[in-house]
Amino acid sequence: MVREWLGFEADGEGDHWLLKVRKRGANTHWVAKQLGRLAQIHPRDVGFAGLKDRNAVTEQSFTLPVRSAVGSEWPGVTGEGFEVISAVRHRRKLKRGALRANDFEIVIREFSGDAAALAVRITAISARGVPNYFGPQRFGIEGGNLVRARRWFSGEIEVHDRFERGFAMSAARSAMFNAVLARRVNEGTWNRIQAGDVANLSGSNSVFAVDAVDETLTQRCNLLDIHPTGPMWGKEPTRAQGAIAALEQSIAAEHALLANGLERAGLETQRRALRLPVGDLKWTLAADQLNLSFRLSRGAFATAVLHELLANAFAQGGLVEQEEE
Q: pLDDT, tens digit, for every residue of 122-150?
A: 999 999 999 999 999 899 889 999 999 99
Phi, psi of 191 (to 5 degrees): -120, 20
Single out the catalytic residue among 53, 103, 197, 280.
Answer: 53
Rounded distance between C-alpha atoms, residue 174 and residue 231, angstroms: 9
Reading phi first (left if > 0) and then psi (alpha if -120 to 50, else beta), residue 309 is in alpha
What architecture is the 2-90 domain classified under in CATH?
2-Layer Sandwich (3.30)
What topology is assigned to 118-276 in CATH? Pseudouridine synthase (3.30.2340)
Domain extents for the chain?
Answer: 2-90, 118-276
Evaluate whether 2-90 and 118-276 have a shared fold: no
Query: Which pLDDT tens digits describe the chain residue by residue (325 residues)?
Result: 999 999 899 999 999 999 999 999 998 999 999 999 999 999 899 999 988 888 889 999 999 999 999 999 999 999 999 999 999 999 999 998 888 899 999 999 988 888 888 899 999 999 999 999 999 989 988 999 999 999 999 999 999 999 899 999 999 999 999 999 999 999 999 999 999 999 999 988 899 999 999 999 999 999 999 999 999 999 999 999 999 999 999 999 999 999 999 999 999 999 999 999 999 999 999 988 999 999 999 889 999 999 898 853 333 333 433 332 2
Give the count of alpha carbons within 13 A of 313, CB side only.
11
Task: For residue 53, indicate whether it is catalytic.
Answer: yes
Instruction: Tell me which H or E stretch contains 152.
Output: helix 144-153
Q: pLDDT, tens digit, for every residue of 217-273?
A: 999 999 999 999 999 999 999 999 999 999 999 999 999 999 999 999 999 999 999
Contact 264, 211 (CB under 8 A): no
